[in-house]
Amino acid sequence: MSDCDILVIGAGVAGIAAARAAIAAGRSVRVLEARDRIGGRALTDTSLGLPFDLGATWLHDAEHNPLTDLARGLGIALADSDALRNEITFVGDRRITKAEDAAYDAAWGAFETTIRDRAAQPGPDIAAAEAAPQGGPWDATVAAWQGRVIAAWPLEAISLRDFAATLLSGANLLPEGGLGALVARLGEGLPVTLAAPVERLRWGGTEAVAEGAFGSLRARAVICTLPTTVLAAGALRLDPALPEIAQAAEDLPLGAAIKIALAAKGADRLGLPDHCSTDRQVGPGEDLIPITFWPQGRPLASAWIGGPLAVEAAREGPQAAESLLRAEIAARLGTRAPDAFRPGALVSGWVTDPWTRGAYSHARIGAAGARAVLAAPLAGGRLCFAGEACHPSLAGTVAGAWLSGGRAAEHAIAATA
């Protein structure tokens, strides 16, 4: 490997965006990636004969998402997930009534309004759970969705101010062939060295030196896109050390999530329409496992396990996650319903993946400013950190990672002018 103008550590979404921007500006670039593939937490699996995103799935806030136009430019069709969705909620083993459904919808609206209003008030930061509505028949279900599912961690441990700042809006689009496949295409042709984790980065002078089993590489500027969990664990040794970056990474832990897919055994569709999104009413502190049957008409059931339950299931292994999903299917649709699916399941492994150690970031209570600390360029832009955790409003999304990578590249390009 030759020395370069800009070194990018990590070939996930932020790293790909940063490398593309730096190359477009005429800089020499090298990307070092620890895994044997590019894409980071965006990965499309085809082992079931169909594309299934084990990581990032949607183009959130599609109207303002830079990947929307990039996908269309590649001729990739985008399906409107919200328009496709057929929603069914269960109360016990029965379907929700119209009156209950109206109350459920009202609880969703009340949650976001209450969260935003409380976050705007002066005073110290608090747990998002303290600001959420409580006591109504659907409040615990909405809280489970917003915390353990969407944020991948309980609201009791999440900063209210950061949670309110990162609430999503807009359309949610599904790229044909999978979002991970789209990200892989966007990274094609980049100067990436795989299986090359950086163990030490000496950055204090006018140039930086990255060291690892690959040897050493010098660069005039560095963009580091490692997940916060990896930074907090000290997997990359910074020399000189950066205590403020270490603290910011510690204050922005990744939640936990497991994605699971079961393949249909035959033609039985259990009386459910295509792209049927199912959930159920839960009580305070109870886990919720959303299940989508026949996503985009495909013969699959797809589920999500989030929060501490995902950590527990990950430790026990893929069969534990499959057992949880089959039990949920039986509880909603009857004990014979799981027989509609083949034995075995496709199960993601982000919680135990040493290069990820979780799903995506949330801020600890009182640490809403950590994203700005992590995103601030250092040494005049010669060292920048990027990734979904660095975006102030789109944290946890591919769009946030992409925009953060592009912004870091701007600083590095200016530093190497």
User: Counting every residue, how long is the chain?
Assistant: 417
Beta strands per DSSP E along 331-394: 346-347, 383-385
Contacts of 324 by beta carbon, 8 Å cutoff, 6+ apart: 289, 305, 309, 313
The 10s digit of each residue's pLDDT in 311-349 is 999 999 999 999 999 999 999 999 999 999 999 999 999
- Report the SS3 class of residue 264: strand
Q: Which residues contact 165 (CB under 8 A, 6 or more apart)?
A: 119, 368, 392, 393
4-41+64-77+176-253+364-415 and 79-173+257-347 share one fold: no
Mean pLDDT of the residues in the chain = 97
Domain 4-41+64-77+176-253+364-415 has CATH 3.60.150.10: no
Peptide bond into 227 cis (omega under 30): no
How buried is residue 108: exposed, middle or buried, by Cβ count under 10 Å (0-12/13-18/19+)?
middle
Give the mean model confidence (pLDDT) for residues 356-379. Answer: 98
Contact 255, 356 (CB under 8 A): no
Quote the pLDDT of residue 293: 98
Q: How confident is the model at residue 149 (pLDDT cuts 50, 70, 90)?
A: very high
DSSP 3-state of 68: helix
Domains of the chain, residue spans: 4-41+64-77+176-253+364-415, 79-173+257-347
How far apart (Å, rounded) are the C-alpha atoms in residues 131 and 155? 10
Element spanning 108, H or E = helix 98-120
Strands 291-293 and 276-280 turn out to be antiparallel
Query: How many angstroms separate the Cα of 211 from the Cα of each of 201, 289, 366?
Result: 6, 43, 35
pLDDT at 110: 97
Retrieve residue 293's tokens.
Answer: 């049957």
- Given a cut of 80, whether residue 202 has pLDDT beyond it is yes
Q: Which pLDDT value is given to residue 217?
A: 98
CA distances from 403 to 90, 147, 227, 387, 394 (A): 38, 24, 16, 8, 9
Per-residue pLDDT, 203: 96
Distances in whole angstroms, Cα of residue 354 to Cα of each of 31, 231, 234, 273: 19, 11, 12, 38
pLDDT value at 287 more than 90: yes
| Domain 79-173+257-347 = CATH 3.90.660.10 | yes
Identify the band that residue 205 occupies on the pLDDT scale cut at 50, 70 and 90: confident
Q: What is the percent of the chain where pLDDT is above 90?
A: 98
φ, ψ of residue 321 in degrees (nearest 5): -65, -40
The C-alpha atoms of residue 102 and residue 17 are separated, in whole angstroms, by 42
Are 374 and 248 spatial neighbours (Cβ–Cβ below 8 Å)?
A: yes
Nearest by Cα to 325 from 315, 310, 191 = 310
Structure tokens that stand for 247 in this block: 């603290």
**Over 90: is that where the pLDDT of 147 sits?**
yes
- The arithmetic mean of pLDDT across residues 223-231, rounded, is 98
DSSP annotation of 72 reads H
> What's the rounded mean pLDDT across residues 64-90?
97
- Indicate whether 1 pLDDT > 80: no
The rounded distance, in Å, linking the Cα atoms of 366 and 21 is 34
Pairing of strands 29-32, 192-193: parallel
